[in-house]
C-alpha cells in the first residue's frame, strides 16, 4: 500500500517538476531584452508585471509544498514519499513492482542535498511571509538565481523519484522544448 502511495506521489511530482521548469522558461523568456522592449512599446508593462508576479507566486508555492513536513492524512507532497522510502518494507515492495532502486537512491541523495540547502529556507520563509501570509520575514528574500537553483535541483530529485519508481520513462527536459518555444512566441507577440 505505501509503495503505491510513493508511486502516486512520484507521478504527480513529475508533473510538478515539469511545471516548475516551464515557469522558469516563461519567466526567462519574458525577461529577454526584446520581450521587455515589446511590452514597453505596446504599453503593456503593468499586465506583464501582473503575469510575472503570478508566475513567481506559483513557482514558490510548488517548490515549497514539495518539502512540507508532518503530513496530515491524505497529504501527497514529495517529502512524504521520501519519508516512506526510508522504510525497508516500502523499498522491498517497490523493488517487486519493478522499481529501479539505484535511481531511487540517487533521488534520495539529491533530495537530501536539497533539504540541506540553506537557500530553500529563504524561499520557504519568503513563501510564509510574503506569498501565503503577510508578515516580517525571518530571513532576507531569496535572489532569483537562488530560487532557480533550488527549483532546478528539486525538479531533478522529483524526476529521479518518478523514474526510479517506474511511473515515467521520460526526462523532464524532453518535455520543456514546447514550453520554451511557446514562451518565446508569447512574449514576442505582445
Q: Tell me the pLDDT tens digit for each residue of 72-105.
A: 878 899 999 999 999 999 999 999 998 999 999 9
- The whole-number pLDDT of residue 13 equals 97
- The whole-number pLDDT of residue 72 equals 80
Asked whether residue 189 carries a pLDDT value surpassing 60, the answer given is yes
Q: Mean pLDDT across the stretch 55-79? A: 91
Distances (CA, A) of 32 to 21, 71, 135: 17, 40, 32
Give the span between the Cα atoms of 139 and 3, in whole angstroms.
37
Asked whether residue 24 carries a pLDDT value surpassing 90, the answer given is yes
Q: Which domain holds residue 77?
A: 2-188
Give the span between the Cα atoms of 138 and 99, in whole angstroms.
41
Give the span between the Cα atoms of 102 and 81, in whole angstroms.
16
Distances (CA, A) of 113 to 8, 118, 155, 156, 175: 23, 10, 13, 11, 25
From the centroid of its chain, how far is CA 67? 10
Q: Mean pLDDT across the stretch 143-158? A: 95
Residues of the chain with pLDDT > 90, as a percent, come to 68
Total number of domains in the chain: 1
From the centroid of its chain, how far is CA 48? 22
Asked whether residue 31 carries a pLDDT value surpassing 60, the answer given is yes
- Measured N-to-C along each axis, helices 2-30 and 88-96 cross at an angle, to the nearest 10 degrees, of 80
Grid coordinates representing 157? 530529485
Mean of the per-residue pLDDT values for the chain? 91
Tell me 81's DSSP state. Answer: H
Asked whether residue 118 carries a pLDDT value surpassing 70, the answer given is yes
Asked whether residue 45 carries a pLDDT value surpassing 90, the answer given is no
Asked whether residue 136 carries a pLDDT value surpassing 90, the answer given is no
- The whole-number pLDDT of residue 73 equals 79
- The whole-number pLDDT of residue 190 equals 57
H/E run at residue 88: helix 88-96
Asked whether residue 140 carries a pLDDT value surpassing 80, the answer given is no
Asked whether residue 63 carries a pLDDT value surpassing 80, the answer given is yes
Amino acid at each position: 500500500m505505501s509503495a503505491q502511495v510513493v508511486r502516486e506521489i512520484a507521478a504527480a511530482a513529475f508533473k510538478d517538476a515539469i511545471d516548475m521548469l516551464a515557469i522558469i522558461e516563461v519567466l526567462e523568456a519574458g525577461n529577454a531584452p526584446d520581450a521587455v522592449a515589446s511590452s514597453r512599446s505596446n504599453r503593456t508593462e503593468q499586465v506583464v508585471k501582473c503575469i510575472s508576479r503570478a508566475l513567481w507566486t506559483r513557482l514558490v508555492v510548488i517548490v515549497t509544498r514539495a518539502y512540507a513536513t508532518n503530513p496530515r492524512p491524505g497529504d501527497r507532497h514529495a517529502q512524504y514519499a521520501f519519508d516512506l522510502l526510508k522504510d525497508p518494507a516500502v523499498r522491498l515492495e517497490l523493488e517487486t513492482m519493478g522499481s529501479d532502486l539505484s535511481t531511487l537512491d540517487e533521488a534520495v541523495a539529491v533530495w537530501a542535498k536539497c533539504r540541506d540547502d540553506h537557500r530553500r529556507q529563504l524561499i520557504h520563509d519568503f513563501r510564509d511571509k510574503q506569498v501565503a501570509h503577510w508578515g516580517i520575514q525571518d530571513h532576507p528574500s531569496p535572489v532569483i538565481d537562488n530560487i532557480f537553483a533550488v527549483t532546478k535541483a528539486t525538479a531533478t530529485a522529483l524526476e529521479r523519484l518518478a523514474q526510479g519508481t517506474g511511473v515515467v520513462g521520460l526526462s523532464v527536459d524532453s518535455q520543456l522544448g514546447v514550453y520554451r518555444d511557446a514562451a518565446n512566441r508569447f512574449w514576442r507577440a505582445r
